Amino acid sequence: MHAPASRAQRALAVVCGALLALTVLALVGGRTLSAYVAAASEPSVATVAGASTGIAPAAPSRATGASAVDPDADLVLFWGDGCPNCAAEKEWLETVEAQHPELRIVQYEVWGDAANQELFAAEAARLGFEAGSVPTTVIGERVWIGWTDQIEQDMAGAIATVENGGAPMPGVFGTAGAGTCSQDEGLCSAESPQTVIDVPLAGEVTLSADSLLVSTIVIGFVDGINPCSLWVLSVLLAIVLRTNSRRRLIAIGTTFLVVTAAMYGLYMAAFYSALAVVGFMGWIQLAVAAVAGVFGVVSVKDYFAFGKGVSFTIRKEDKPGIYRRMREAAGKKALLPALGATVVLAVGVSLLETPCTAGFPVLWTGMLHANGVGPAETAGLFVAYMVPFLLDELLIFGIAVVTMRSTKIQDRHGELLKLFAGVTMLVLAAVMVIDPTLMESPVAALSLFAAAFGLALAIHLVTVRVRASRQPELEPESDPLAALGGDRP
């Protein structure tokens, strides 16, 4: 009895060590790959732009020493006479000054003033960026190099944070050398390449090339394969299939998916708006990471011991009510009352599913704010999130419509989904603490997700071997891993 348990403990210790080691390696590797790709692409950008980009470090900087500029300044702009990008920002700042008269804005022209050039160099050394391109804007310990729509949105959020008594997160964010001018060449770079997508009800939305698009798609996909929603959908379809009506199946299934997706969108919009109101300060970033970390730990725990201790699932006492509402929705003879009952069911289930699904939306909206993504781009990224999020449910729904047979989610499937989602959340929580800007790089983001998936697979394979070694020596009722059966999400 004790020897197998000892092996299990050693295996779990190895797994925990591997989790920590691979997370660190993924973060370091992601940074290295991201820096390598940026360095490799920098010459081509300079050639096209005809100017030095003056790219600042992607990682958040930490100020050293006292600032040499006006200590009472809320916003400091370093600009060059004759720089059109600087002129565009200065025009925007005039509007900001008119709207926020209490905001103290100080500007230093650095192309024709040697003293201001020294101030620029000193501030760059203090905050850890290269004093090579203008416009460069500083609020607190946060730096923007260049002038683009994305930077304007991010800067507006930082100003709101200052007005609320907070301080913007320190570092250089979303500044890939776009919208800058160089004194040496006297030429200016263009904005980064952009992708335009058509968002229903919102029109065309532009996504910058260094946006969180890749990270959003992967997070949406992983979030979509959560066992709670898949269990509810599969049970609902199984009940509706008893009517032998494909028309009713399509109507009820579509209504359920649309309402649950809308509820999910409202939840994410509410959290995003809350962060926009309070301003995304450093402690909020840590709070988001902590919440995601808790969800990740509990999800991984559920893989090993479902129902033991804290568990973010649909409670057993709530299931009879769900079954009853499902039968009511499917059993109504008229279609319109059935659809009305389905709407009520979908709203109620969405509320009950909140513990199952809250982790990834908290992480995703937190990352958008940490990287300074504005409302317009957020709308486009939300569409990119929801498409893979609904993919698995649409697949189950489509199979049911075509074959008129339901797909049952087995216990072992739910365990694996919990494990993969939990490990991914833990890795992303670590990214939120260490460097959220990593998720802007497709290379770094894919490296992190690949490391998370590989680690989850390794944990599963080790656990399978441990369970197999314990099986002959433990009575079924005494084995905590044998108690994972049952109809559960």
Residue 39 belongs to a domain: no
pLDDT, residue 103, reads 92
Residues 345 and 218 in one domain: yes
pLDDT: which is higher, 184 or 42: 184
Residues 204 and 144 grouped into a single domain:
no
Nearest 5°: the CA angle 260, 265, 266 is 100
**Strand 105-109, strand 75-79: pairing:** parallel
469 part of a folded domain: yes
Collapse the DSSP code of 190 into the 3-class scheme (helix H, G, I; strand E, B; otherwise coil) and give the result: coil
pLDDT computed for residue 17 by the predictor = 53
Establish if 335 belongs to a structural domain. yes
Shared domain for 204 and 104, answered yes or no, is no
Q: Tens digit of pLDDT for each residue in 358-404? A: 788 888 988 887 776 777 788 888 989 999 999 989 999 999 999 98
Distance CA 225, CA 391 (A): 9
The answer to the question of residue 30 being in a domain is no
Element (H, E) at 479: none
Residue 49, number of CB atoms within 10 A of its CB? 20
pTM (predicted TM-score): 0.60
Contact 213, 381 (CB under 8 A): yes
Structural domain span for residue 399: 198-484
Return phi, psi of residue 78, to 5°: -100, 120
Instruction: Look at the chain and report how many structural domains it folds into.
Output: 2
Residues 161, 260 within the same domain: no
Residue 453 belongs to some domain of the structure: yes
What order of strands is seen across the sheet that includes strand 136-139? 105-109, 75-79, 136-139, 142-145, 171-172
Domain membership of residue 67 (yes or no) is no
Distance CA 231, CA 409 (A): 6
Choose one of 172, 207, 237: the last residue of a domain: 172
Whether residues 289 and 415 share a domain: the answer is yes
Eight-class DSSP state of 189: P
Cβ neighbours for 212, distance < 8 A, ≥ 6 positions apart: 367, 368, 371, 373, 381, 439, 440, 445
Q: Are residues 81 and 164 in the same domain?
A: yes
* C-alpha of 434 from chain center: 14
Q: Is residue 37 part of a domain?
A: no
Average pLDDT, the chain: 75
Least confident of 63-72, 264-273, 469-478: 469-478
**How far apart, in whole angstroms, are the C-alpha atoms of residue 213 and residue 383?**
10
Same domain, 235 and 329: yes
Average pLDDT over residues 91-114: 92
* 316 inside domain: yes
